């Protein structure tokens, strides 16, 4: 951290707060993106402190200076624990919680065989409420404090996740999944008009309420008619401050299917672009098998590509081109894609991103992996000024990691020469046991 910024923050602690809490531990925060600036973009303090007042971060700095600046603060000492921003999962399907790790199918069969039957159960609002609560508790156990999730076609599934998020104080992005083509099963279809009407009503009910953000959600072009894509494109045009999420170029078979359903489209992206569904607030999940024109357009508009590495290996989709896409300036977020993804853990997700990077000869540094799981995903969701980092004025969503949470990790960390060697074993081998505590809007969950 630059010294001037630290001085300003310390001054704020001295003058402004009366009820601050000081969290002591190792602290790691970002001054920029390690993809652009290397790991100089990261500030690490072996004995650091995070000052929190209410739901906000007041200051970040060395522990001794922070204690001296704020002698009346309540002190919570996390020992050797590493305080980092809460993880931000930029693409998930909370209704698939119950069928995660379903065996042996590739995308289209997997959807038909496992996913759609599971999503039909959400016609029952009580079921939706039960899964929504269980899902968010699992996320908090794994250190994820924000998620952008698909719901099902049932409006009550959206109410369920936002109500569960509200009860836990979490910043959550969610939207009603829209499907009106006969490629989706009966019982899991809406219409162009009802998708527009229900999405609009949910958006008006939830968007900007507390920490809720509504996301317009056409599942993917194979399960929508042109009329539905157009209706949702129009809705997005009327509410440009909302994000829009969908799937793009996940599997080769899927791309061939899209070509057969949309014969006049130039490519997969064009099925969205032609109907008002390409823009800076667009979140395109997977984005593996992209054509040059698609890459150009995504970069030109500043859309977000969401990398879902455990899903891409689990369903057998392919190897995301992290090196090429970040080099050309694409905005990339990181996500579990549960239940196509095989884990709720963003640590496991970082490990899978590393492994895919290796297969593509671009080994991601621990600082890049952590950035993707926090600031990178927050940037993809257009909230990097609020969450995904530890800095004065940001929302106090953070976690404490135990960097020696299992004997296997501990024996490796005993030989670590610096913070990156100490963190990387937890990224590669850690799970919810590494998450000592999770703090949402300043409160322990
Ligand atoms: N494409 C369309 N729907 C889905 C889904 O639920 N999961 C994944 N991984 N891909 C999809
Ligand atoms: Zn998905």
- Residue pair 35/368 in contact (Cβ under 8 Å)? The answer is yes
From the number of C-beta atoms within 10 Å of its C-beta (0-12, 13-18, 19+), residue 275 rates as: buried
Q: Whose CA is nearest to atom 11 of ligand 1?
A: 247
Q: Give the model's pLDDT for residue 274.
A: 98
What is d(CA 4, CA 65) in angstroms, rounded to the nearest whole number?
14
Q: Is 311 in the pocket of ligand 1 (CB under 6 A)?
A: yes
Question: d(Cα 73, Cα 373) in Å, to the nearest integer?
Answer: 30
Task: Write the CA distances from 227 to 22, 74, 251, 257, integer angstroms.
Answer: 54, 57, 24, 18
- Render 326-382 in DSSP notation, one character per residue: HHTT-EEEE---BTTBS-S-HHHHHHHHHHHHHHTT-PPPHHHHHHIIIIIHHHHTT
What is the Å distance from ligand 2's center to 188 Cα?
A: 16
Assign 195 to helix, strand or coil.
helix
> How buried is residue 252: exposed, middle or buried, by Cβ count under 10 Å (0-12/13-18/19+)?
middle
Atom of ligand 1 nearest to the CA of 341: 9
In CATH terms, the fold of domain 87-380 is: TIM Barrel (3.20.20)
Mutate which of 289, 306, 340, 342 for ligand 1 pocket (most atoms within 8 A of beta carbon):
340
Evaluate whether 443 touches 52 at the Cβ level (below 8 Å): no
E strand spans, 228-339: 243-248, 282-286, 304-307, 331-334
Q: What is the dihedral of CA 14, 15, 20, 25, to 10 degrees?
A: -30
**Ligand 1 atom with least separation from CA of 93:** 6
The three-state secondary structure class of 405 is coil
Q: Nearest residue CA, atom 1 of ligand 1?
A: 247
The C-alpha atoms of residue 129 and residue 156 are separated, in whole angstroms, by 9
Count, residues in the chain: 445
Residue 339: asked if its preceding bond is cis (omega within 30°), the reply is yes
Q: Do the domains spanning 3-85+389-418+433-444 and 87-380 agree at the CATH topology level?
A: no
Residues 250, 178, 198: CA angle, nearest 5 degrees: 155
- For 274-306, the pLDDT digits (tens) are 999 999 999 999 999 999 999 999 999 999 999
User: CB under 8 Å to 216, separation ≥6 — which residues?
Assistant: 175, 199, 203, 232, 235, 236, 239, 242, 243, 244, 245
Helix, strand, or coil (residue 212): strand
Assess if CATH 3.90.1200.10 describes domain 3-85+389-418+433-444.
no
| Predicted pLDDT of residue 40 | 87
CA of 314 to the centre of ligand 1 (A): 12
The answer, yes or no, to whether any atom of ligand 1 lies below 6 A from the CB of 220, is: yes
Residues of the chain with pLDDT under 50: 1-17
Is the Cβ atom of 310 under 6 angstroms away from ligand 1? no
Q: 234 vs 77, 195, 213, 240, CA distance in Å? A: 51, 12, 18, 10
Cβ atoms within 10 Å, residue 408: 12
Contact 217, 175 (CB under 8 A): yes
Identify the three-state secondary structure at position 6: helix
The answer to whether 395 touches 56, Cβ cutoff 8 Å, is: yes
Pick from 107, 113, 105, 176: which is nearest to 337 by CA? 107
Question: Which residues crowd ion ligand 2, with CB under 5 Å?
Answer: 285, 337
Domain boundaries, the chain: 3-85+389-418+433-444, 87-380
pLDDT, position 6? 45
Question: What integer pLDDT is reported at residue 146 of this predicted model?
Answer: 99
What pLDDT sits at residue 18?
Answer: 55
Cα-to-chain-centroid distance, residue 160? 19
- How many whole angstroms separate alpha carbon 67 and alpha carbon 311? 44
342: phi then psi, degrees, rounded to nearest 5: -100, 15
How far is the centre of ligand 1, averaged over its atoms, from the C-alpha of 411 (Å)?
Answer: 39
The bridge status of strand 398-401 relative to strand 74-85 is: antiparallel
Give the CA distances from residue 70 to residues 76, 270, 394, in Å, rounded to whole numbers and listed in that order.
Answer: 13, 56, 19
Please, what is the Cα angle at 337 between 335 and 338, to 5 degrees?
A: 125
């Amino acid at each position: 951290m630059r010294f001037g910024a630290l001085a300003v923050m310390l001054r704020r602690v001295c003058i402004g707060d009366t009820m601050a809490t000081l969290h002591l531990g190792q602290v790691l925060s970002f001054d920029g993106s390690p993809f652009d600036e290397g790991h100089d973009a990261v500030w690490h303090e072996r004995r650091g402190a995070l000052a929190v007042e209410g739901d906000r971060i007041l200051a970040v700095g060395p522990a001794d200076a922070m204690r001296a600046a704020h002698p009346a603060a309540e002190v919570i000492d996390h020992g050797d624990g590493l305080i980092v921003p809460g993880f931000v999962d930029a693409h998930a399907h909370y209704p698939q919680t119950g069928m995660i790790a379903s065996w042996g199918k590739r995308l289209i069969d997997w959807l038909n065989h496992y996913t759609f039957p599971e999503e039909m159960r959400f016609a029952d609002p009580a079921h939706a409420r039960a899964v929504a609560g269980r899902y968010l508790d699992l996320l908090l156990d794994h250190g994820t404090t924000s998620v952008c999730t698909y719901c099902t076609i049932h409006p009550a599934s959206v109410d369920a996740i936002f109500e569960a998020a509200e009860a836990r104080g979490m910043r959550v992005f969610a939207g009603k999944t829209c499907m009106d083509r006969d490629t989706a099963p009966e019982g899991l279809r809406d219409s162009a008009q009802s998708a527009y009407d229900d999405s609009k009503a949910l958006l008006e009910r939830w968007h900007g309420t507390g920490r809720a953000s509504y996301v317009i959600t056409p599942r993917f072009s194979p399960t929508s008619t042109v009329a539905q894509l157009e209706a949702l494109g129009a809705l997005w045009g009327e509410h440009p401050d909302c994000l829009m999420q969908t799937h793009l170029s996940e599997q080769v078979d899927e791309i061939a299917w899209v070509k057969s359903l949309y014969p006049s489209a130039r490519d997969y992206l064009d099925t969205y672009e032609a109907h008002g569904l390409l823009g800076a607030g667009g979140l395109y999940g997977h984005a593996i098998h992209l054509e040059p024109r698609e890459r150009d357009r995504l970069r030109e508009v500043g859309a977000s590509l969401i990398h879902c590495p455990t899903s891409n290996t689990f369903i057998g989709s392919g190897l995301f081109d992290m090196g090429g896409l970040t080099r050309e300036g694409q905005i990339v977020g990181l996500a579990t894609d549960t239940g196509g993804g095989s884990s709720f853990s963003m640590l496991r997700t970082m490990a899978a991103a590393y492994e895919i990077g290796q297969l593509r000869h671009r080994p991601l540094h621990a600082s890049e992996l952590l950035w993707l799981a926090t600031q990178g995903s927050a940037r993809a969701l257009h909230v990097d000024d609020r969450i995904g980092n530890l800095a004065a004025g940001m929302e106090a969503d953070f976690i404490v990691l135990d960097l020696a949470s299992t004997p296997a990790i501990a024996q490796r960390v005993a030989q670590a020469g610096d913070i990156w060697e100490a963190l990387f074993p937890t990224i590669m081998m850690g799970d919810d046991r590494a998450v000592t505590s999770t703090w949402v809007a300043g409160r322990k969950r």
